C-alpha cells in the first residue's frame, strides 16, 4: 500500500512538475477572456433545456402510467333516474368482467367539482338543471387497448345502452405527442448548443494559436512535440471551461428552480408529476463535466490539426 502510494505520489509530483513547466511555455490567459462567459451561457442554456426535457419525460411517464389501464364509462342520458339506473347496471357489469383492477362510480360531488370552473356552483347557476353524464372510472389490470375496450363495451351495452366507453389514453394521445415534440426540441437545442460550443472553442483555439505562433515555432524548433503544445492549450481551455461550467450550472439550476416554482404554482397534477428526481439532477450535474470534456477535446484536435501545417 505504501509502495503504491509512493508510486502514485511520485507520478502525481511528476505530472504536476511537467504541467507547471509546460504552463510556462505559453502565456496562460486563464479566466481573463470571454471564453468562460461564453461557456457559462452555453452550459446554463443546456442545463435549462435538459431540465425541461427531463421534466417533460417525467410528466409523460407518470401520465402514461396513470392512464395506461384507465377506461372511462359515461352514461349519457338526460333523465336522472334512468341515468342512475344504467350507471349502477354498468358498474355491476364492469365489476363482473375479467381483468378489472378497480371500478368506481364517480360521486356527484366530484362531478360538480369537475364542471365547477365552467358551470359554477351557486344556486343561481342552476347547475342541477344541466344533464351531466354519470361517470365510472375503471382501472384495468392490463393496458386499455382496443380489445379490452371492445370486451367492456360488449358486456356493458346490454345493461346500459346509453354508455360510452373510452380508453383514457386515447384522450391524452395529442398531449403525449406534444410532449414528445417538446422533448425532441429540447434534444435539438442541446445538440445545437454543443455544436455552438465546439465552434466557439475552435475559433478561440485558432485565435490563440495565431497569437502565439512565434512562441510555438520556437518551442517546435527546440524539440517541443505537438502533444506538448496541445496539452498547454488543453489545460488553458479546461480551466476556462471548468469556470464557465460551474457558473453555467449555477445559472441553469437557478433558472430551472424559478421555472419549477412557476409551474408548481399552477397546481396541475400533470405539472407536479414532472418534478426532477435525484437521477435527473445527477444528469444535470454531469452537463458541465461533459462541456469541459467537449471543450478540451475540441481544443486538442483543432490545435493538433493546425500544428500539422507547421514543419
Partner 1 sequence: MSQNEDAEIVHFDNVGLRYGTEKEVLTDVSFTLYSGRFYFLTGASGAGKTSMLKLLYLAQRPSRGLIRMFGTDAITLPRDRLPGFRRRLGVVFQDFRLVPHLSAFDNVALPLRVAGVPERDIIKPVTDMLEWVELGDRSHARPATLSGGEQQRVAIARAVIGRPDMLVADEPTGNVDPDMAIKLLRLFEALNRLGTTVVVATHDVHLLRKVPDSLIMRLDKGRLSDPTGALRYPPRRTVAAQRPELLLR
Which position among 3, 123, 129, 221 is part of the footprint of partner 1 (CB under 8 A)? Answer: 221
Dist CA 135 CA 145 (whole Å)? 20
Which position among 123, 265, 282, 311 is part of the footprint of partner 1 (CB under 8 A)? Answer: 311
Residue 139 bridge partners (DSSP): 70, 102
Longest C-alpha distance within the chain, in Å? 100
Q: How far is the CB of 16 from partner 1 (least distance, A)?
A: 10
Residue 220 interacting with partner 1 (CB under 8 A):
yes
Name residue, grid cell 500500500: 1
Q: What is residue 301's three-state secondary structure?
A: helix
Q: How far is the CB of 13 from partner 1 (least distance, A)?
A: 9
Q: How far is the CB of 207 from partner 1 (least distance, A)?
A: 17
- Expressed in angstroms, the distance from the first to the final Cα of the chain is 46
Q: Pick from 235, 238, 236: which is nearest to 294 by CA?
A: 238
Q: How far is the CB of 22 from partner 1 (least distance, A)?
A: 7
Dist CA 128 CA 80 (whole Å)? 10
- The contact pattern for partner 1, residues 7-36, with x = CB under 8 A and - = no contact, is -------x--xx-xxx-xxxx---------
Please work out the total of residues on this chain that contact partner 1, with binding judged by CB under 8 A: 25
Q: How far is the CB of 231 from partner 1 (least distance, A)?
A: 12
The residue (of 27 and 99) whose beta carbon lies closer to partner 1 is 27
Q: Say if residues 151 and 175 touch (Cβ distance below 8 Å).
A: no
Which position among 58, 88, 170, 215 is part of the footprint of partner 1 (CB under 8 A)? Answer: 215
The residue (of 83 and 231) whose beta carbon lies closer to partner 1 is 231
Dist CA 78 CA 129 (whole Å)? 10
Residue 166 interacting with partner 1 (CB under 8 A):
no
Dist CA 135 CA 121 (whole Å)? 19
CA distances from 152 to 97, 159, 165, 175 (A): 7, 11, 8, 25
Residue 282 interacting with partner 1 (CB under 8 A):
no
Residue 309 interacting with partner 1 (CB under 8 A):
no
Contact footprint for partner 1 (CB under 8 A)? 14, 17-18, 20-22, 24-27, 214-215, 217-226, 228, 308, 311
Amino acid at each position: 500500500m505504501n509502495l503504491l502510494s509512493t508510486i502514485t505520489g511520485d507520478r502525481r509530483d511528476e505530472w504536476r512538475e511537467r504541467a507547471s513547466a509546460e504552463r510556462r511555455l505559453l502565456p496562460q490567459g486563464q479566466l481573463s477572456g470571454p471564453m468562460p462567459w461564453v461557456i457559462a451561457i452555453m452550459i446554463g442554456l443546456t442545463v435549462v433545456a435538459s431540465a425541461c426535457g427531463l421534466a417533460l419525460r417525467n410528466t409523460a411517464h407518470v401520465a402514461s402510467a396513470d392512464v395506461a389501464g384507465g377506461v372511462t364509462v359515461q352514461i349519457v342520458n338526460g333523465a336522472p333516474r334512468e341515468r342512475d339506473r344504467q350507471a349502477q347496471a354498468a358498474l355491476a357489469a364492469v365489476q363482473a368482467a375479467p381483468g378489472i383492477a378497480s371500478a368506481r362510480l364517480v360521486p356527484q360531488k366530484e362531478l360538480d367539482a369537475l364542471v365547477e370552473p365552467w358551470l359554477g356552483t351557486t344556486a343561481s347557476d342552476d347547475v342541477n338543471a344541466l344533464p351531466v353524464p354519470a361517470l365510472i372510472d375503471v382501472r384495468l389490470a392490463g393496458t386499455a387497448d382496443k380489445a379490452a375496450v371492445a370486451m367492456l363495451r360488449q358486456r356493458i351495452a346490454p345493461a346500459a345502452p346509453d354508455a360510452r366507453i373510452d380508453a383514457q389514453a386515447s384522450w391524452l394521445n395529442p398531449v403525449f405527442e406534444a410532449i414528445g415534440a417538446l422533448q425532441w426540441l429540447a434534444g435539438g437545442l442541446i445538440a445545437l448548443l454543443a455544436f455552438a460550443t465546439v465552434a466557439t472553442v475552435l475559433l478561440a483555439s485558432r485565435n490563440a494559436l495565431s497569437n502565439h505562433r512565434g512562441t510555438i515555432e520556437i518551442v517546435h524548433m527546440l524539440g517541443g512535440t505537438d502533444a506538448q503544445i496541445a496539452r498547454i492549450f488543453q489545460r488553458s481551455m479546461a480551466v476556462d471551461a471548468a469556470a464557465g461550467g460551474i457558473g453555467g450550472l449555477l445559472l441553469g439550476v437557478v433558472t430551472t428552480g424559478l421555472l419549477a416554482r412557476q409551474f408548481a404554482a399552477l397546481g396541475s397534477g400533470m405539472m407536479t408529476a414532472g418534478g426532477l428526481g435525484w437521477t435527473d439532477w445527477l444528469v444535470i450535474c454531469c452537463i458541465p463535466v461533459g462541456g469541459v470534456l467537449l471543450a478540451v477535446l475540441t481544443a486538442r484536435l483543432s490545435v493538433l490539426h493546425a500544428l500539422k501545417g507547421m514543419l
